Amino acid sequence: MVRLGVNLDHVATLREARKVNYPSPLKAAFIAEEAGADGITMHLRQDRRHIQERDIEDVIKHISLPVNVELAIVPEMVDIVSDLKPQHCCLVPERVTEITTEGGLNIIEFENETGAAIEKLKSKDISVSLFIEPEIEIIKKGVELGTNAIEFNTSLYSDSKTPGERNIQIKRIQKAARFTAENYSLEIHAGHGLNYTNVKFIRDIPEIIEYNIGHSIISRSVFSGLYNAIIEMKKLLRCL
């Protein structure tokens, strides 16, 4: 069976928009655990725009699910995550002014930095995944650098505007997944921009064993919960 890692970044985005102490990613992690999520993912960005170190500490301490921390290959971030000691991490590219992660990590250009990050994190018993484009040369380089897993960036697929474009991207991911499974014993994950519609076309790639999904789940939860949230406030105001 495939696993679902629930990314809680955007619970923290709502909190940081007001710099208050709610909504709490820890509380969201409890709900995710109760709902059957297989893991919790959080991206510790250099600008700390959403998840903070204390969120990761809290979730590791109180939740029994495996925690996967996404981070840039910057020595300072690698040191911080090495000390936080989640079970898993995923190395991602990061540009401070980006809205969200853009493209897979260029592990060919940044081979030394990626290798050093992998070595340090693995020395702390943290298993490492690389967020990469589904391309054979990049997969081979990830293996050479000693990664434990790879996560295919699905954003070109998720952003497809037509069925034709979508098919091209599905085939690209399928080919990369097949190549990886036939040649290596790496875990294959996928994520970015997956939602309640597009996940139906990608979920049948059998080599992918984990999906990391965040924005669409947190967005959906606004509407699953809004009705009750309004009723509760009306009751408190005694105007129901």
Q: Which sequence positions are flagged as catalytic?
A: 43, 70, 192
Q: How far is CA 52 from CA 81, 98, 136, 190, in A?
A: 11, 18, 34, 24
- Cβ(78)–Cβ(69) below 8 Å: no
94 torsion bin: left (phi>0), alpha (psi -120 to 50), beta (else): beta
Could you tell me which stretch among 44-52, 141-149, 189-197, 219-227 binds ligand PXP (CB under 6 A)? 189-197
Q: Which of 5, 38, 41 is nearest to 25 (CA)?
A: 41
In degrees and rounded to multiples of 5, residue 88 shows phi and psi of -130, 155
Q: Which is nearer to ligand PXP, 141 or 236 (CB)?
A: 141
Burial of 127 (0-12, 13-18, 19+ CB in 10 A): middle
Residue of 67, 92, 107, 177 interacting with ligand PXP (CB under 6 A): 92
Could you tell me which stretch among 120-128, 137-145, 206-214, 227-235 binds ligand PXP (CB under 6 A)? 206-214
Contact between 25 and ligand PXP per CB under 6 A: no
Contact between 192 and ligand PXP per CB under 6 A: yes
Contact between 50 and ligand PXP per CB under 6 A: no
Contact between 194 and ligand PXP per CB under 6 A: yes
Give dist(CA 114, CA 226) in Å, integer.
Answer: 42
Could you tell me which stretch among 21-29, 59-67, 111-119, 213-221 binds ligand PXP (CB under 6 A)? 213-221
Contact between 7 and ligand PXP per CB under 6 A: yes
Residue of 33, 70, 113, 133 interacting with ligand PXP (CB under 6 A): 70
Contact between 148 and ligand PXP per CB under 6 A: no
- Cβ(51)–Cβ(7) below 8 Å: no
Residue of 4, 26, 114, 131 interacting with ligand PXP (CB under 6 A): 131
- Cβ(154)–Cβ(191) below 8 Å: yes
Q: Give the binding site for ligand PXP (CB under 6 A).
A: 7, 9, 43, 70, 90, 92, 100-101, 131, 151, 191-194, 212-216
